[in-house]
Structure 1
Amino acid sequence: MRSILFTSCLFIFIGVSAQGKLADRIYFGGGFGFSAGADQTNLSLSPQVGYKITEKFSAGVGISYQYVKIKQPSISINNYGWSLFTRYNIVQQFFAYSEFERLSFEYVTGVDPVRKERTGYNSLLIGGGYAEQLGGRASFSLMALYNVLYDETDFPRPYNSPWVIRAGIGVGIF
């Protein structure tokens, strides 16, 4: 897996030297999530950095962290991972998107006493999105993605559905 990440980064940086100014081609984005209720608190952070290979096509890498706190019984769960993504701007506001995600996640195997185990999970997300320019080079995006590797019979799994809906902020994509 490290060789895939290294090779992807190498191709991006080779493209940088051939295409001109690095600052004009790199963009940053990602998402942040928070929800709290009577029984559970969720926090997620997923920064990304992308490189515009052409004006319409870009690729990049991201990392993710998810924290879940269940109040009764008292359980804290930490998930983390990395991803490689591609984005193709169909028109300025609509884009196609794909992402390979590798997530290391914890799951509960017992509650008295609390027992947890950790395992890895791969997702291949394919879909599209809409981006609205906020001003300057900043934008807000909304994506609907489908995990083609999702299997209802897999256990454990970090997601309850093959559908992933995301919202985020990007800087430098426009």
Structure 2
Amino acid sequence: MKRHLLPVLLLVAAAGLPTFRAQAQDKPVLNTAPPAPQPAPPRPVEPTPVPATPAPEPTPEPTYNAPVQSTPDAPSGLDFPNRKNTKAGGAEDKPPTRKFLYTNLGLGYSSVDGISNFNASLAPAIGFRITDKFAIGPGISYAYNNYSLSPDNFYRTYGFTYPTPNGSLTAAGANSLSSSSLGFKVFAQYIVYKEFFIHGEYEVTNAQLAGYDGNGYLAKINRTVSSPLAGIGYRSYLGENAAVDVLGLYNFGNSVFSLYPGFNLRFSLLFNIGK
């Protein structure tokens, strides 16, 4: 019987061997880690931009200042200021308006027979341009005069004291005398060349002047005075509608008791008005 059982057991064992092997393969293997995740692919490296090399700046060429050349208008090569900007009555340009306000401040000084005469005047007027070069107009004037005497200078000059009983300029013993005057005038101007012009005016003034009394003292006297003045001027423009004039005028009726001294330096302002 044992002989018959042994072959049967061997057959059973041989039939179950494949099943055992499959079960053995399905069991997990101990001491093994799960598979590691795959590493991410590396990011592409962008190339660093190379800064552009700036183009070299061109070397400036040396400047050359041509020598001053003379012209018919400027024989010396130099030019007067504002010569090319003549406006408002210039000989080269048509004035923007026919009417203008004209006012001046005058200063003057003279000395006759040891008596000094200082004068300051203010004379506003309105002008009318008859042509582009010629203008006339009426105005008013105010003048201040101061007559003064220096006894020491008079003595050094003439060798004796001032010929009054007490040697002073006035009977009150003062050596100065002031007066104020108001008058009316007319003026005329003609532009000769660019900013240069000639100026003339005639003024009639109810004046306070200095005169001698019966004792030889200086005293104020009221008198109607005529003052003919003429001279030349230069105009400097401040824009299209304004200018400053500098005038040198001579008083052809000059005397020690004139309202204006022989030479007068004036500064005048011109403003164009209207159309």
TM-score interval (norm. to shorter): 0.5 to 0.7
Match in the other structure for 2:68: none
Read off the aligned partner of 2:99 and give its amino acid letter: I
Cα distance, 1:99–1:43 mapped onto 2, change above 3 Å: closer
Alignment match, 1:9: none
Counterpart among 163, 167, 170 of residue 270 in structure 2: 170
2:242 matched to 1:138?
yes
Residues of 2 paired with 1:159 and 1:56: CA distance? 28
**Which of 156, 165, 171 is 2:257 aligned to?**
156
- Distance of 2:144 and 2:261 partners within structure 1: 17
**Residues 107 and 125 (structure 1 numbering): CA distance in 2 closer, same or farther, change over 3 Å?**
closer
Q: What is the CA-CA distance between 1:69 and the residue it aligns to?
A: 6.9
Q: Structure 1 pair 143/33, CA: closer, same or farther in 2 (3 Å)? A: closer
Q: Aligned residues: percent identity?
A: 30
The aligned amino acid for 1:27 is F
Instruction: Give the match's secondary structure for 2:224.
Output: strand
**Where does residue 227 of structure 2 map in the other structure?**
123
1:60 to 132, 137, 154: 137
Within-5 A mapping of 1:18-167 = 24-32=97-105, 44-68=121-145, 76-108=178-210, 109=212, 115-148=219-252, 150-152=253-255, 156-161=257-262, 163-167=263-267
Unaligned runs of 5+ in 1: 1-22, 35-40
Spell out, residue by residue over 1:3-60, the C-alpha distance to the aligned partner (whole angstroms, 9 max, x if none).
xxxxxxxxxxxxxxxxxxxx921101111368xxxxxx97532101100001111111
Give the TM-score taking structure 1 as reference length: 0.66
Paired residues, number: 142
- SS in structure 1 at match of 2:97: helix
Matched-pair contact (CA < 8 Å) for 2:251–2:260: no
Distance 1:106 1:27, change over 3 A: same
Q: 1:69 to 1:129 in 2, by over 3 A?
A: closer
Consecutive unaligned residues in structure 2, runs of 5 or more:
1-95, 108-117, 148-173
d(CA) in 1 for partners of 2:242, 2:125: 14
Bigger CA drift: 163-172 or 55-64?
163-172
CA apart distance, 1:78: 1.3
